[in-house]
Structure 1
């Protein structure tokens, strides 16, 4: 496999991993007010595929931090003391994670595009 192919494969795998991360971040944000919801995180793993290292999203893990106790005696899920368990999603963390994933995605997309342009330029030089 050529260096161009290695570079394209590495960029493409990172794009897929960041897309998976963004999906879970958006799911966390949409469920921030869902009682009992636990934040999902996705670790990245480096694997060897066809003789080269690529990155992929690992198994989805649930955040084990305690759920917030919310006082609302009128809520249907409230216990005798008037509390129920909310989610453990922190919107500031999710927004920061989304930004980081977006920037990483853009950087990998730029690397993918530059590799493609270099490959095209090489082909043009070889044709001459």
Structure 2
């Protein structure tokens, strides 16, 4: 039963990590038009300290790339030259990240369900 437990822990850790990634991707999309907003990245790390070698989302990092300068002299944040710093979020990149995270989440969910089903089938066989 230890293999089933390890598989369940691994897939559930992947579900948690992808859920955190999706949360930050949605924050990035929501703040794409917020001046001065920096894109958030969530790196994944292998948690070798756990007994099941699970994956976890690391500390959120801000994207160090430059903010986009936009010319709009009527904007309240515009400087004396008429420019202000917008966000560094590219919505197309965020949509691609969201799709990738969604597919990874679904793969982990399917692995979890199949492991649970195999465990249940094994228990049924042992009862007979």
Instruction: Please classify the TM superposition score into its range, dividing by the shorter chain length.
Output: over 0.9
Cα shift at 1:93: 0.5
In 2, Cα distance between the equivalents of 1:119 and 1:86? 52
RMSD, aligned α-carbons: 0.9
The corresponding residue for 1:60 is: 60
The corresponding residue for 1:42 is: 42
The corresponding residue for 1:21 is: 21
In 1, Cα distance between the equivalents of 2:110 and 2:91? 28
Q: Deviations over 1:27-75 (max 9, x none)?
A: 0000000000000000000012442200000000000000000011001
In 2, Cα distance between the equivalents of 1:25 and 1:50? 27
The corresponding residue for 2:112 is: 112
Structure 2 spans left out of the alignment, 5+ residues: none
Structure 1 spans left out of the alignment, 5+ residues: none
State the TM-score, normalized to the length of structure 2: 0.98
State the TM-score, normalized to the length of structure 1: 0.98
SS in 2 for 1:20: helix
In 2, Cα distance between the equivalents of 1:36 and 1:50? 38
In 2, Cα distance between the equivalents of 1:32 and 1:50? 37
Pairing 1:48-127 to 2, within 5 Å after superposition: 48-127=48-127
